[in-house]
Amino acid sequence: MAQAAEAAPAQPGQNAAMQMFQQWIQAMRDAAGLQCREVTLDDGLRYVYLEAGQGEPLLLLHGFGSNKDHFVRVAKSLAQRWRVIVPDHIGFGESDHPAEADYTPSAQAERLHRLAAALGLGPVHLGGSSMGGHIAMTWAALYPAEVKSLWLLNPGGAWSAPASELRTRIEQEGRNVLIADTVDEFRELLATVVHRPVPVPEPLLQAMAAERLANADLERRIFEHCAAEAVEPRIGGLATPALIVWGAHDRIIHPGSAAVLQGLMANARVQMMDDVGHLPAMEQPERVVADYLAFRDGV
DSSP 45-82: -EEEEEEE--SSEEEEE--TT--GGGGHHHHHHHHTTS
Residues near 26 by beta carbon (within 8 Å), at least 6 away in sequence: none
Q: Is position 97 annotated as part of the catalytic site?
A: no
CA distances from 290 to 78, 109, 143, 287 (A): 10, 27, 28, 5
Q: Is position 130 annotated as part of the catalytic site?
A: yes
Q: Which candidate in 62, 125, 134, 195 is catalytic?
A: 62
- 37 φ, ψ to 5°? -135, 170
Instruction: Reduce the DSSP state of residue 16 to 3 states and report it.
Output: helix
Pairwise CA distance, residues 115 & 42, whole Å: 10
Under the banding of pLDDT at 50, 70 and 90, the label for residue 183 is very high
Pairwise CA distance, residues 164 & 251, whole Å: 6
Pairwise CA distance, residues 105 & 159, whole Å: 13
Q: At what angle do helices 72-79 and 12-32 cross, to 10 degrees?
A: 20
Under the banding of pLDDT at 50, 70 and 90, the label for residue 249 is very high
All domains in the chain, ordered by first residue: 2-6+29-298 (3.40.50.1820)
- 205 φ, ψ to 5°? -60, -45
Pairwise CA distance, residues 175 & 136, whole Å: 27
**Considering only CA atoms, which of 246, 248, 251, 278 is closest in space to residue 164?**
251
Q: Which candidate in 130, 149, 164, 257 is catalytic?
A: 130
Name the residue with higher pLDDT: 9 or 245.
245
Instruction: Give the percent of the chain with pLDDT over 90.
Output: 88
- Give me the residues paired with residue 271 across strands: 245
- pTM comes to 0.94
Please report the sign of the dihedral spanned by the C-alpha atoms of residue 69, residue 273, residue 284, residue 29: negative
- Rg of the chain taking only CA atoms, in angstroms: 18
Average pLDDT over residues 183-189: 96
Per-residue pLDDT of 256-265, as tens digits, reads 999 999 999 9
* Helices (H), ranges, 252-284: 257-264, 280-283
